[in-house]
Amino acid sequence: MEYKKIEVKKKPFAWRVLPWLYRYTAQALYPNIYVSPKVYENLQTKNPNPKNIAILEHEKKHIERQKEMGLFIFGVKYLFSPKFRLQEELLAIREGMRVYKKNNLNFDINRSAKFLSSWLYLWMTSYENAKKELEKIWGEFT
């Protein structure tokens, strides 16, 4: 898929009212990807950190899916269906894992499983299930 219309932007200053979401996460809202200023600056360099490239690939997958389904339908399903939300996150995480594997980096499955089973993702699954699914995906790359 071509991403010529996707724009990577620094998160607006107003998002600082939610420090966790401002500093530590990225958001995809078709056709834009919003990242922290630190990640944005790194992505502008000649040799960006592979972990930041993985973030970008993760969010690109969300953009692709939003474009396919339409932003409204995607948003409603993402918000109200934990099963859909998990499916979408696993699709996007797979893209990030691909970058980790290509760069011989270790993907922290435990940390990711904790996030996926937390308030950040509206408790869409259990830690155990998230860990199992992540291990399955990571195993595809070995």
Q: What is the mean pLDDT of the chain?
A: 91
The closest of 141, 55, 36, 53 to 93, measured between CA atoms, is 55
Per-residue pLDDT band at 18 (split at 50, 70, 90): low
CA–CA separation, 142 and 132 (whole Å): 16
In a domain, 55, yes or no: yes
Are 97 and 137 spatial neighbours (Cβ–Cβ below 8 Å)?
yes
In a domain, 99, yes or no: yes
Domain total in the chain: 1
In a domain, 95, yes or no: yes
For residue 1, the model assigns a pLDDT of 39
pLDDT for residue 23 is more than 90: no
Per-residue pLDDT band at 15 (split at 50, 70, 90): low
In a domain, 133, yes or no: yes
In a domain, 122, yes or no: yes
Encode pLDDT of 78-129 as tens digits.
999 999 999 999 999 999 999 999 999 999 999 999 999 999 899 999 999 9
In a domain, 2, yes or no: no
Q: Which domain holds residue 14?
A: 7-139
In a domain, 116, yes or no: yes
Burial of 11 (0-12, 13-18, 19+ CB in 10 A): buried
Q: 3-class SS at 72?
A: helix
In a domain, 57, yes or no: yes
Sheet with 32-35: list strands edge to edge. 7-10, 32-35, 27-29
